Structure 1
Amino acid sequence: MSTLLPLPFALPLLVAALGMVVRNHRRLQRALTAAMLLGLIGVGAGLVAATSGGRAIAIDVGDWPGGLAITFVSDGLSALLVLTVTVSAALALLFAVSRDEDRHPLFHPMVGVLLAGVLGAMLTADLFNLFVMFEVMLIGSYVLLTLRGGRRQVRAGVIYVTVSLLASTTLLVGIALLYGTAGTVAFADLHGIVAEVPAAAVGASLVMAAIAVKASLVPMHSWLPRTYVEAAPGVTALFSGLLTKAGVYVLYRLYSIVFAGDPSYQQLWLTVAGLTMVVGVLGAVGRGDMRGILAYHMVSQVGYLILPLGLWSLAGLTAGIVYLVQYVLVKGALFVAVGTVETLTGTGRLKELGGMVRTRPWLALSFLLPALALAGIPPTSGFVGKYLLIRAAFLDAHWLAGAVAVVVSMFTLLSMIKIWNGAFWGELTDRSRREPLAARFGLRPVPAGAAGDDGPAVQKAPTNARVAGMVTPAMIVSLLVIVLGIGAQPLIELVEPAAAALLDPSTYLEAVRSL
C-alpha cells in the first residue's frame, strides 16, 4: 500500500502536464481532471484503510541514500485529509465547470498543480520538501486567482503573492536555522528538538510563524478576506477546502513532532486561537456581501481548528480533527451556494437581494444546512465538532477558551441569519426577480460572471441543467452534514487513533526510520 503514497503528488502534476498539451480541447481537459479526481479519491480511501487503527506507512522515492531521499509518509490524520480535501475539490470543480469558469486553457492544469502542492504537503516527511510543496501551491493558486484578468483580481493577486513570498522566505530561513543546529530537516530526526536543543527553538518558531501566515491566524490574517472575495466563485470554493487547511495540518504535524507537544507553548496557542475566533467573526458581522462574510468566517473557524493545539489532549485533538473534516466540506458548500446566488442575480450584496427561497427553494436549502453546521446547530456535523471541542476545553479547565468558542458560535449564527434574511428571506428585490423573468426570454442583463467581474454583458441565462449542476455540490454536503451529525460515532472512532498518534508519534516516526 505504501506504493500509493507518491500518487497524490505525482498524478495531479501528470494531469497538469497533459492538460497543457491539450489546452485547446476543454472537454478532454475536463475528462482528464475528472479521471484524476476519481483516482485520488480511490487513493485516499485506500490510505484511510491502510492507516486505520493508528498505523502509518512510508516510502522513499528514488534510489537516494538516507537524508537525501524524498520521503512520503501517511498516518490516519494525513490519509483522512487527503481523502477529504480531494472530495471537497471535486465538488468545487463540479460547481466551477457548471458556471463555465474553466474557459481559460490554464484552469485545469493549474488545478492539478494546486492539488499536487496541497496533497504533497500533507504527505511529505521533510521540511525542505514541505517548502517546495508550498511553493507549488503558490503557483497554482496565484494563477487561478488572477485568471479573470480584471484590475481587482490582479490587485488581489499582488497582495496574495507578496504575503505568500514573505511567508515562504520566513519559512526558508527557519528551515535553514534548524538545519544549522540539527544537521537535518527530516521529521524523524527533529522529534523533540526544541526541548533538547534550545537554539533550535528560534528556527522552529520561524517555521511555525510562516505556516501561521498561510493558515491565516490573527494577526497575520488580513490577506485572506482581501483576496478570496476577488477570485471567481468556483475558485473561492476550491481555495476554501485546500489552502488554509494545508497550513492547519502542518501546524498539527510540526507541533506533534518538532515541538513534541511542549506544554510551555499551549497558552500561546490558546490565546492565538481565541483572538482568531473573535477577530474573524467580528469582521464577518461587519460585512454586507455574502462572500466577504464567509471569507472572514474562514479566519474565525481556523481559530477553532487550532484550539486543540492549546488543549493538547486526546479529547481535544479528536474533536479538532472531527471538526476539521466536516468543516472542509461545509465551507466549500457555503461558497458554492452563495456563488450560485451571485451567478443567478449578478450580485453578492445583501441589500440588493431577497426572497430567493421562493424562486430557488433548493438553493436556499443548500445554503441553510451548511450554514447551521458552521454555526454548530444540532443535528448537524458542526454541532458534533463544536460540542466535542468545547467539552474538551471545559474538561481541561480552560474555561475562557471554551466560553469564547461558545460566544463566537452565537455570532456565527447571527451572521448566517444575516445572509439568510438578506438573500433568501423577505421580499423579492429587483435583482431576485430579474433572473426567473429574464430566463423565460433566454437573456440576463447582468455581469458576465459573479459580483466583481469587470464590465456588464448580456448573456444567456443558465439552463436548468446548469443551475442543477451548480447547486448539486452544496446539496450533497447538506445531506452529509445531517448524516455525520446524527451518525457521528463511526467518524469519531476513525479519528481517535489519529489523534492518539499526534500525542505519541512513535508509530509515524518508526515508519520513516525503518526505510
Structure 2
Amino acid sequence: MKALLVSPLLIPLATLVLCLLARRSPRLVGALSLVGSAALTSAGLALVGLAAGGEILAGQAGGWAAPYGITLVIDRLSAVMVAITGIVGLATVLVALARDTDAARGRDFHPLLHGLLVGVCGAFITGDVFNLYVWFEVLLVGSFALIVLGGGRRRLSGTVVYVVLNLVATMMFLLAAGLLYGASGSLNMAELAHLFASGEVPATANAAVGLMLVAFSIKAALFPVFGWLPASYHLAWTPISALFAGLLTKVGVYALIRLVTLLWPDSGIAHEVLLWVACATMLIGVLGAAAQTEVRRILSFHIVSQVGYMILGLALATPLALAGAVFYLIHHIVVKANLFFIGGIAARLTGAERLAAMGGLYAHAPWLAILFAIPALSLAGIPPLSGFWAKFVLVKASLDASAWIAATVALLTGIFTLLSMSKIWNEAFLKPHPGGEGALRRVAGLRPALWAISALAAMTVAIGLLAGPVMDYASAAAEQLAAPQGYIDAVLGTPAR
C-alpha cells in the first residue's frame, strides 16, 4: 500500500533518470518515456480504484509522525488527478514521438517531461503547504525548460512573460507560507484545518491564506491576472503546449480547491469574491477567444474561460457545485489537451496557424475533422458529450443557490465557446485552402498521434455516455471535500494537538 502511495512520484522520477542514462539513444529514450507514462497511468487508475471505496491513503516520509513529517495523502480527488495526469502524459509522449524529427529535441524533451510530471503529481498528493511549494517549484523548473525548448525569438519572448508572472506568484506563495507558519506553528494541511476550525489562529494566519490564494489564482490564470497564459502557451512546441493546457492551470485550481475546503469552508467573503472572479474569468476568457485569429491562441483563451467554471463550483461550495467542479476537471483536462494536439496537427498539414491561411482539412483529412468535432463540441457543452454534463451540473447548482448572474454567465460562455469552435471549423476545415489543394501537406509518421487523439476523443464520448458513474465518483469526492474530518483523521491518526 505504501509503495502505491509513493508510486506517482517514484515512477516519473525513475523514468527521468533512465531517460538521462539513455540519452545517446533517442529511440530508447522514447521507449522508456512511453513505458514510464503508461506505468504512471496504471498506478493512477489503481489509486482511483482504491479511493472509490472511500479509503484515504496517508503516509509520512521517514516514519515521522504528522504533523512533523512529510505527508502524502491520496483521496478521491487527488487519485483521479494523478490518473488523468498519467493519461495526458502518455498521450503527450505518443504525439511527441509522432512529430519529432529533431533527435536532440526529443532527447531533452522526455526527461524534462517526466520531471514536470513528478512536480504535478507531488502537488496533487502532498499534505503539507511547504511541500506544495516545493512541488510547484519542481514543475515550474520543468515547465520553464520545456516552453523554451527549440529556441526562437518569438518563443523566448513568450517564455519571459510566462516566467516572470509565475515567479511572482511563487514568491507570493513562499511569503504566505512563511507568514502562515509564523502565525500557526504548522504547515501540515490537516493540522491547519483543525486549528482554523477551532478558531485557534490569529488574523495573520487568515491574511497568509488570502495571499496564498492570490498566488494560486495567478497560477490558475484567473481574472484579472491571466494574460501570461495566452501570451505563452501557443508559442511552445505542440506536445508541450497541449500538456500545459491540460495540466498546469489545473494544479492551481486543485490547490485552490484543497485549501479553501480545508481552511475556509465557511468563509462567506472568500466564496463571494471567488464567485465574481469566476464569472469575470468565464466571460473575459471567452470574449478574448472570439477576438483571436490563430488556432492555439483561441484555445489558450478558452483555457481561461473554462477555468472559470471550475472556480464557480468552488465558489458556490454546495455538494452539487463541488461535484460539478470535480467533474469539470476530469472532462476539461482530456478535452483541452486533445484540442491542442489536433490544432498542432492541423497547422502541420496546412502549413499555418492563422485561420486565414488554413483551410481544406475536411476534404484532405476527414478523420481529423471528426476527431476535432468531438472535443470542440464537448468544450461548448453539446449533449451527450462530457462537457454538457459538466456545464449542466454547474448551471443547476447555480440556479439551486439562486446565483442567477453566475448561471447566466455560464450559459453565455457556452454559447460563445460554440461560436469560437465554429469559427475554427469553418476556417480550417470547411473553406478551401487559400493556396489551393496542392498547398496541403501529407505528413508521414502520424500514426502514434492518431492513436493518442482518438483515445482522448473516445474518453470524451465515454465520460458523456457514462456520466452517471463519473458523477457518482465526483459526488463522493465532493463529499470528502465538504466534510474534511476524514482527511484530518487519516493524516493525524489521533486528535490534533
Taking structure 2 as the reference length, the TM-score comes to 0.95
What's the secondary structure of 1:221's corresponding residue? coil
**CA distance in structure 1 between the partners assigned to 2:352 and 2:9 by the alignment:** 37
- Can you list the C-alpha shifts for 1:51-84, whole angstroms capped at 9, x where unaligned? 1143211111114354432111000010011101
Counterpart residue number, 1:447: none
Contact 2:282–2:305, Cα closer than 8 Å, also in 1: yes
Per-residue deviation at 1:148?
A: 0.7
Counterpart residue number, 1:507: 486
Counterpart residue number, 1:36: 36
**CA distance in structure 1 between the partners assigned to 2:428 and 2:128 by the alignment:** 46
Per-residue deviation at 1:340?
A: 0.3
**CA distance in structure 1 between the partners assigned to 2:65 and 2:321 by the alignment:** 39
Per-residue deviation at 1:507?
A: 1.0
Contact 2:33–2:93, Cα closer than 8 Å, also in 1: no
Taking the TM superposition and a 5 Å limit, the aligned residue runs for 1:186-225 are 186-191=188-193, 193=195, 196=199, 197=201, 198-225=203-230
Per-residue deviation at 1:262?
A: 2.1
Residue 170 in structure 1 maps to residue 172 in structure 2: yes
Residue 327 in structure 1 maps to residue 332 in structure 2: yes
Residue 418 in structure 1 maps to residue 420 in structure 2: no
Contact 1:191–1:260, Cα closer than 8 Å, also in 2: no
What's the secondary structure of 1:6's corresponding residue? helix
Per-residue deviation at 1:33?
A: 1.1
Counterpart residue number, 2:141: 139
Deviates more, 1:324-333 or 1:253-262: 253-262
Counterpart residue number, 1:20: 20
Residue 363 in structure 1 maps to residue 368 in structure 2: yes
Counterpart residue number, 2:477: 498
Aligned length: 489
- Can you list the C-alpha shifts for 1:316-353, whole angstroms capped at 9, x where unaligned? 11111111101100001101111001112221110011
- Can you list the C-alpha shifts for 1:340-394, whole angstroms capped at 9, x where unaligned? 0111222111001122100100001111110000000111110011011101110
Counterpart residue number, 1:396: 401
Q: Which runs of 4+ in 1 moved over 4 A?
A: 192-195
Contact 1:89–1:241, Cα closer than 8 Å, also in 2: no
Deviates more, 1:258-267 or 1:181-190: 258-267
Taking a change above 3 Å as real, the CA distance of residues 432 and 407 of structure 1, as seen in their structure-2 partners, is farther
Give the superposed CA RMSD: 1.5
Counterpart residue number, 2:59: 59
Counterpart residue number, 1:470: 449
Unaligned runs of 5+ in 2: none
Counterpart residue number, 1:451: none
**CA distance in structure 2 between the partners assigned to 1:501 and 1:372 by the alignment:** 31
Which amino acid in the other structure matches residue 447 of structure 2? A
**CA distance in structure 1 between the partners assigned to 2:61 and 2:12 by the alignment:** 17
Counterpart residue number, 2:98: 98
Counterpart residue number, 1:448: none
Taking the TM superposition and a 5 Å limit, the aligned residue runs for 1:207-356 are 207-356=212-361
Per-residue deviation at 1:192?
A: 5.8
Taking a change above 3 Å as real, the CA distance of residues 421 and 239 of structure 1, as seen in their structure-2 partners, is same
Taking a change above 3 Å as real, the CA distance of residues 74 and 431 of structure 1, as seen in their structure-2 partners, is farther
Counterpart residue number, 1:459: none
What's the secondary structure of 2:402's corresponding residue? coil
Counterpart residue number, 2:159: 157
Which amino acid in the other structure matches residue 216 of structure 1? A
**CA distance in structure 1 between the partners assigned to 2:69 and 2:33 by the alignment:** 29
- Can you list the C-alpha shifts for 1:146-189, whole angstroms capped at 9, x where unaligned? 11111111122222111111111000000001001000100011
**CA distance in structure 2 between the partners assigned to 1:64 and 1:194 by the alignment:** 23
**CA distance in structure 2 between the partners assigned to 1:237 and 1:495 by the alignment:** 24
Deviates more, 1:191-200 or 1:243-252: 191-200
Counterpart residue number, 1:455: none
Which amino acid in the other structure matches residue 56 of structure 1? I
Which amino acid in the other structure matches residue 472 of structure 1? W
**CA distance in structure 2 between the partners assigned to 1:364 and 1:49 by the alignment:** 35
**CA distance in structure 1 between the partners assigned to 2:486 and 2:297 by the alignment:** 42
Deviates more, 1:418-427 or 1:12-21: 12-21
Which amino acid in the other structure matches residue 173 of structure 2? L
**CA distance in structure 2 between the partners assigned to 1:192 and 1:511 by the alignment:** 13
**CA distance in structure 2 between the partners assigned to 1:256 and 1:502 by the alignment:** 6
Which amino acid in the other structure matches residue 474 of structure 2? V
**CA distance in structure 1 between the partners assigned to 2:101 and 2:285 by the alignment:** 29
Which amino acid in the other structure matches residue 80 of structure 2? L
Contact 1:92–1:234, Cα closer than 8 Å, also in 2: yes
Contact 2:292–2:298, Cα closer than 8 Å, also in 1: yes
Which amino acid in the other structure matches residue 346 of structure 1? G
Identity over aligned pairs, percent: 38
Contact 1:290–1:350, Cα closer than 8 Å, also in 2: yes
**CA distance in structure 1 between the partners assigned to 2:446 and 2:266 by the alignment:** 48
Counterpart residue number, 1:74: 74
Per-residue deviation at 1:27?
A: 1.3
**CA distance in structure 2 between the partners assigned to 1:180 and 1:297 by the alignment:** 39
**CA distance in structure 1 between the partners assigned to 2:6 and 2:436 by the alignment:** 48
Per-residue deviation at 1:432?
A: 5.5
Contact 1:308–1:316, Cα closer than 8 Å, also in 2: yes
**CA distance in structure 1 between the partners assigned to 2:307 and 2:277 by the alignment:** 10
What's the secondary structure of 2:359's corresponding residue? coil
Deviates more, 1:470-479 or 1:391-400: 470-479
Contact 1:55–1:507, Cα closer than 8 Å, also in 2: no
